[in-house]
Amino acid sequence: MTGKSDALQDDAALMRRIADGDERAYEELVNLHARSILAFGFRLLGTQEEAEEVVQETFLRAWQHAERYEPTARVTTWLHTIARNVALDGLRKRKPRADLALVEAAPDSGRAGAQPGTFLERKRTALTVAEALEQLAPRQREAITLVHYQELSHGEAAEVLGVGVEAVESLLSRARRKLRELLGGVARNER
């Protein structure tokens, strides 16, 4: 358990420096976590523009409220909680949209030697998965995103969502069942 303990100590030290107004520590925090928060925001909201707003607002709040960070959790958990709240605020203000934003291509899709057909199929699959995620209940989508895309533990996801670990496991189970139902044809088509 030394690894988690060391990470918590590092997080606490970084956040203390930020609370003291250390701009370099703040830059370090942003550099370490902005990409993850951007991906999280994108998966929850579906557009790059809204995801970028989530990143900006999340780190602004982290700077303004660094003294509130409790070193009982990793800073990533704290940041994801802030980002989730920002995204939920955005969803409440959002007008219903008719279409889903295009999903970004996988990072390795443009590398040399990649088959054009493979790239197109991956993009179609990513869009199909994104559409299926949109059909999940919001809490199920958040649980799937936190655990499978953001790679948080069930305990960390529970903290972000403000529920117990058992509730996260239940949300994941229902979400996976629904995704299997929605994506059954996709899996068969790719074989």
pLDDT, tens digit, 9 for 90 and up, residues 20-53 = 999 999 999 999 999 999 999 988 888 899 999 9
pLDDT, tens digit, 9 for 90 and up, residues 54-71 = 999 999 999 999 999 988
Check whether residue 131 and residue 165 sit in a common domain: yes
CA-CA distance, 28 to 126, in Å (whole number)? 31
CATH, residue 3: 1.10.1740.10
Check whether residue 13 and residue 84 sit in a common domain: yes
Distant-in-sequence contacts of 85-90, Cβ < 8 A, 24+ apart = 86/41, 86/53, 86/54, 86/57, 86/58, 86/61, 87/40, 87/41, 87/44, 87/45, 87/50, 87/54, 90/45, 90/50, 90/53, 90/54
State how far Cα 140 lies from the chain centre. 13
Side chain identity at 160, as an amino acid letter? V
Residue 93 has pLDDT above 80, yes or no: no
CA-CA distance, 35 to 159, in Å (whole number)? 21
> Is residue 110 in some structural domain?
no
Domain that holds residue 167: 115-191
pLDDT, tens digit, 9 for 90 and up, residues 96-142 = 443 334 333 334 444 444 455 676 777 777 778 888 888 888 899 99
Q: What pTM value is reported for the model?
A: 0.65
